[in-house]
Amino acid sequence: MFLLSMLFHFVSYDLWFYVSHIVLHKHFSKLHNIHHKTPYDKLKWYNTTDGHILENIIEPIGLFIPFLFYVDIQSCCVVGVIISIRGYMRHDDRFSFIVGNHHLIHHKNPNYNFSEYYIDYLFGTLHENIENTYER
C-alpha cells in the first residue's frame, strides 16, 4: 500500500505541476518570467526556486491532492523529499545524467516540456530533441 500511495502522490504532483505550469506560461507569464530570467545554459540547482512567491506556493499543491481521498503522511513526506531533490537536479546540467535534460530543454524551448517526460508525452507537449540541451 505504501508504494501505491507514493505513486499516487507522484502522479498527482506531476499532473498538477503540468497544469499549473501551463497556466503560468499562458496567463501569468510576467509572474513566471521571474523563474525563466536565468539563461538556460547558466541554470544551476539554486535557480530552482527563483520565482514569485505565489508560484512557489501554488506549484507544490499537487503533492497534497491525495489527502482528499486518504491520508498517508509517510508516503507524502518521502515523495516530497524526492520531488524536491528532483526539482533541484533538473535545473542543473551537471545532474542530467541522473534526471535527464527534459526540464532544461523547457528553459530553452518554453512551449514544451512543462512537467515530467511521461506527462508531456501523454499530453503532446514533449519536445522532440531531448538529446542535447545546449552546445558548450
Q: Establish if 46 belongs to a structural domain.
A: yes
Q: Establish if 135 belongs to a structural domain.
A: no
Q: What percent of the chain has pLDDT over 90?
A: 76
Q: What is the pLDDT of residues 39-69, one digit of tens each?
A: 888 999 999 899 999 999 999 999 999 999 9
**Cβ atoms of residues 66 and 8 within 8 Å:** yes
The residue segments making up the domain with residue 84 are 2-123
pTM for the complete prediction? Answer: 0.89
CA distance 75 to 30: 35
Q: Establish if 69 belongs to a structural domain.
A: yes
Q: Domains in the chain: how many in total?
A: 1
Residue 115: CB atoms within 10 A of its CB come to 24
Q: Establish if 129 belongs to a structural domain.
A: no
Position 136 pLDDT exceeds 90: no
Q: Establish if 131 belongs to a structural domain.
A: no
**pLDDT for res 130:** 55
* Closest alpha carbon to 49 in 41, 39, 60: 60
